Amino acid sequence: MHEMSLAVAVVDQVEAAAKSRGAVGVSSIELDVGELAGVVADALAFCFELACAGTVVEGAELITRTVPGTARCAPCAEDWAVGMPPRLLCPGCGAAADELVAGRELQIREVRWACPETTHERHHRPITEES
């Protein structure tokens, strides 16, 4: 399950950023997760909770945004949503996709730092997915 290594990497990066900023806690982390990245959202959520234990990230809300897969055709310059399973033939001219322009990413979009006075009052909140 590569979701555990992804969750650990996210927690490590946010923890390093918190330390450099002197932050005492994290209220939420927002991730962009590409539709074609092969990440199972529920597995990532489970692994995130485990990875957060005992860190300044513990109790933070994980918010995931799905980034649709998009391909580009060089011959006709058309972009299209590839979907799942991926449709890699251009709907305009039938040529094979030359480039996947979006949908493979996994990146931290935003981190919200906890206020010192509320750090001890953080509550666990379930993961939400926003498209």
Structural domain contains residue 16: yes
Above pLDDT 90, what percent of the chain? Answer: 81
Q: How far apart are CA 69 and CA 87, in angstroms?
A: 10
pLDDT bracket for residue 1 (50, 70, 90): low
Structural domain contains residue 40: yes
Split into its structural domains, the chain has a count of 1
Structural domain contains residue 77: no
What's this model's pTM, rounded to 2 decimal places? Answer: 0.78
CA 101 to the chain's CA centroid: 17
Structural domain contains residue 19: yes
What is the average per-residue pLDDT within 48-71?
Answer: 96
Structural domain contains residue 53: yes
Of 66, 72, 64, nearest in space to 88 by CA: 72
Q: How far apart are CA 61 and CA 45, in angstroms?
A: 10
Look at residue 126 and tell me whether its pLDDT is greater than 80. Answer: no
- Model confidence over 75-125: pLDDT tens digits? 999 999 999 888 999 999 999 998 999 999 999 999 999 877 654 444 444
Structural domain contains residue 55: yes
Q: What residue numbers bound the domain in which 11 lies?
A: 1-68+103-113
pLDDT for the residue numbered 72: 95
Name, in order, each residue with C-beta under 8 angstroms of 71's C-beta and a sequence gap of 6 or more: 79, 80, 82, 86, 88, 90, 97, 98, 99, 100, 101
Structural domain contains residue 15: yes
pLDDT for the residue numbered 125: 46
CATH code of the domain in which 28 resides: 3.30.2320.50
CB distance 59 to 25 below 8 Å: yes
Structural domain contains residue 75: no
Q: H or E segment at 33?
A: strand 26-34
CB distance 122 to 25 below 8 Å: yes
